[in-house]
Amino acid sequence: MDKNEFLRLVDLYVAGKASEEQEEMLLRFFDSFQADARWGEQMTALREELESRMLSRLMTSIQAQQSAAHRSSHTFNRSILFRVAAAVVLLLAAGSLYFFSGSVKTWYASKDKKEIVEPLQPGGNKALLRLADGSTIVLNKATNGVLAMQGSTVVKKTDEGELIYVSNPADGAGHSKINVIETPKGGQYQLTLPDGTRIWLNSESSLSFPTCFGPDERRVELRGEAYFEVAANYKPGAKVRKPFFVKSGAMTIEVLGTHFNITAYPRSARQEATLMEGSVMVEAGTVRRKISPGQQAFIERSASSLKVREVNLESILAWKEGLFMFDNTDIDEAMQQIEKWYDAEVVYVGQKPEVAFTGVLPRSSEVSEVLDLLESAQGVNFTVQGKKIIVRKTNQ
C-alpha cells in the first residue's frame, strides 16, 4: 500500500464511510507496520502527517459542533470522536510511535484485565457552594431555581445546571459578601458572576468571589484550574473599563475583557496563565509581563521566576471541551489529570516509568479504557485496586 492509498483509507475511516473491506485493509496495514521494524525509518514523515491530519480533523469537528450549539452546552458528536480516537490515538514512548488499530470496540476489549474492586467513574458536574454565613449548598443535588439571597444578589441554578449570580447594579461593594465554590476530585462546574463573567472550574479547584463588585475593580481568588471569559465592564459614569484581577498562587492576572485559562494547583510543579483572546498582564512578585493570545506565562516552583512561552491552545483547553488531550505529556502530568478526574490515588511502585503520551481521549471514558490505551505505549503497567491506580515500570 502506498502513502496516498493509506491516507485515503484513513480519511474514509474517520468520516465513517469506509467499507468493511477497506477497514480490514487498514487494520492489516497497521498490523504489518507493528510487526515489521523496517517501517520505523520509512514511516517517520507519514507519522507526522497522519498525526497532524487526525488532530486537525478532531478539532475541526469539535469547533464545528461548538459553533452550532449554545455556548454553554458543549455537546459533541461522540461517534465522530470515538472514530477519530480509535484510528489516530498515537502514544509516543521513549521516542517510538505506536498505532492503536481496531474499531471502537478495541477500547473495551481488554477491560477485564484490570482488577477493579470498585470501578472508578469519570467525573461530572459536582460542586459545593459556601455562602457568606458559612452555610453550604451541594450544587449537584440542589433543585433548579433560586438557591439563596446574598444581600440583594440572587443566587440561581439554571435548568442546565449552571450557577448564576444576579445583582442590583446600584448596590455596589457596600452590600457585597464573599462566596466560595469548590469542586472535589471528579468534579467540575460552571458559573456566571454578577458582572457577566463566565467561569468553568476544573476538578479539585475553588474560587472565592464577591457577590457584587465595587465601582473601581473586580477581584477573585482561584486555587486549582479554571477557564475565564471576562465580561467587559465599565466604571460608573466613565468610558474606562473596570479591571478584573485573579489572584492565583504566586501570580496575579489583570485583564479588561478576555478569555484565558489559569492552572495553579498547590501540589503542581508549575503555575500557568494561558491567553486565548485579548491581552492580560501577569504579575509575580516585582515582575510584570504582558502576554498575547497563544502565549503562556508560568512560574516553576523550583525557580520562582516568571517566564513566557508559546503553547498549544487546544491541549490547554481540552479539559473544558470534555477531552484528555496529551501533547508529549510526561507520566506525572498525565496521571495527575487522571487522578483528579476519576477521584483516584496514584501510587508508583519501584522506579517511575520514563514515558510520554500524545493522544486524544474523551473524559467520559471509563478509567480502564484510558489506562489500557496508555499502557499500550509500552514501558508502563497499571493495576486498579479500589480507588488506587498502581503504576509500575515494565521492560519494553
Task: Say whether both 289 and 380 belong to one domain.
Answer: no
Task: Say whether both 278 and 375 belong to one domain.
Answer: no
On whether residue 97 sits in a domain, the answer given is: yes
Final residue in a domain of this structure, among 254, 278, 310: 310
Final residue in a domain of this structure, among 272, 290, 310: 310
Task: Say whether both 263 and 290 belong to one domain.
Answer: yes
Judge whether residue 297 has pLDDT over 80: yes
Judge whether residue 110 has pLDDT over 90: no
On whether residue 201 sits in a domain, the answer given is: no
Range of weakest confidence among 6-20, 27-41, 267-281: 27-41
The stretch 75-88 carries a mean pLDDT of: 44
Task: Say whether both 102 and 165 belong to one domain.
Answer: no
Final residue in a domain of this structure, among 155, 189, 223: 189
pLDDT of 93: 30
The stretch 23-39 carries a mean pLDDT of: 53
Task: Say whether both 13 and 106 belong to one domain.
Answer: yes
Task: Say whether both 351 and 373 belong to one domain.
Answer: yes
Task: Say whether both 130 and 92 belong to one domain.
Answer: no
Task: Say whether both 28 and 64 belong to one domain.
Answer: yes
Residue 239 structural domain? 215-310
Task: Say whether both 267 and 295 belong to one domain.
Answer: yes
On whether residue 223 sits in a domain, the answer given is: yes
- For the chain, the domain total comes to 3
pLDDT of 339: 94
The stretch 327-336 carries a mean pLDDT of: 88
SS3 of the chain: the string is: CCHHHHHHHHHHHHCCCCCHHHHHHHHHHHHHHHHCCCHHHHCHHHHHHHHHHHHHHHHHHHHHHHHHCCCCCCCCCHHHHHHHHHHHCEEEECCEEEECCCCCCHHHHCHHHCCCCCCCCCCEECCEEECCCCCEEECCCCCCEEEEEECCEEEEECCCCCEEEECCCCCCHHHCCEEEEECCCCEEEEEECCCCCEEEECCCCEEEEECCCCCCCEEEEEEEEEEEECCCCECCCCCCECCEEEEECCEEEEECCCEEEEEECCCCCEEEEEEEECCEEEEECCEEEEECCCEEEEEECCCCCEEEEECCHHHHHHHHHCEEEEEEEEHHHHHHHHHHHCCCEEEEECCCCCCEEEEEEECCCCHHHHHHHHHCCCCEEEEEECCEEEEEECCC
The stretch 328-348 carries a mean pLDDT of: 92
Tell me the per-residue pLDDT of 164-186, one tens digit each, with 9 for 90 and over: 999 876 555 557 899 999 999 99
